[in-house]
Amino acid sequence: MYDESHQPYVIERIVSGLTYPTMGLAGFVWLLIGQLTKSAPTRFTSYHCYLSIFLSLGYVICNYIFWWLYEVITHVPFINTPVAQLVFLFNAPILYGYSIMQIFLYSVIIYMTVTAFLGMYSYLPWFSDIIKSIVKR
């Protein structure tokens, strides 16, 4: 994604990899430490930190909106039953106690973490483009 001449240092890879499973907390702390010590993070580290924070906030906001809409729709006749069945289908445990939504979310987190540990820029359509434009400034 970027043409940097050097590979990220090991500590950058570790912080970038840990920021996804912690939902952006490790990245936020790393950026905060960078501000307190007056050192600028590299593009690689700031890309992964900002992306994990952006994805985590987006997930929380979408989750709240979805469940609020679900509560509203459950009071509408003829629509509430099919919607409740779809919600149950996506949230029912199917594989070792994990639902379809959990498998999807964990797969994305694992993908982002592994690519960060390998020193690569992870790509998720639309999200990565937004973060790339923020980091280039």
pLDDT at 2: 45
Does residue 4 form part of some domain? Answer: no
Does residue 5 form part of some domain? Answer: no
pLDDT at 95: 87
pLDDT at 19: 96
Please write the tens of the pLDDT for every residue from 14-67.
999 999 999 999 999 999 999 999 998 899 999 999 999 999 999 999 999 999
Give the C-alpha separation, 52 to 27, whole Å: 8
Percentage of residues of the chain with pLDDT beyond 90: 69
With beta carbons less than 8 A apart as the criterion, state whether 123 and 1 touch: yes
Give the C-alpha separation, 30 to 51, whole Å: 14
Q: Which domain holds residue 98?
A: 10-135
Does residue 28 form part of some domain? Answer: yes
| pLDDT at residue 3 greater than cutoff 70 | no
With beta carbons less than 8 A apart as the criterion, state whether 117 and 13 touch: yes
Does residue 77 form part of some domain? Answer: yes
Does residue 123 form part of some domain? Answer: yes
For helices 25-36 and 10-18, angle between their N-to-C axes, nearest 10 degrees: 130
pLDDT at 1: 44
pLDDT at 44: 93
Does residue 3 form part of some domain? Answer: no
Q: What is the pTM of this model?
A: 0.85
Please write the tens of the pLDDT for every residue from 65-101.
999 999 999 898 899 899 999 999 988 998 889 999 9
pLDDT at 4: 54
* The Cα angle at residue 127 between residues 73 and 84, in degrees rounded to 5: 20
Q: What is the count of structural domains for the chain?
A: 1
Does residue 124 form part of some domain? Answer: yes
What is the SS3 assignment for the chain? CCCCCCCCCHHHHHHHHHCCCCCCHHHHHHHHHHHHCCCCCCHHHHHHHHHHHHHHHHHHHHHHHHHHHHHHHCCCCCCHHHHHHHHHHHHCCCECCECHHHHHHHHHHHHHHHHHHCCCCCCCCCHHHHHHHHHCC
| pLDDT at residue 5 greater than cutoff 90 | no
Does residue 91 form part of some domain? Answer: yes
pLDDT at 49: 94
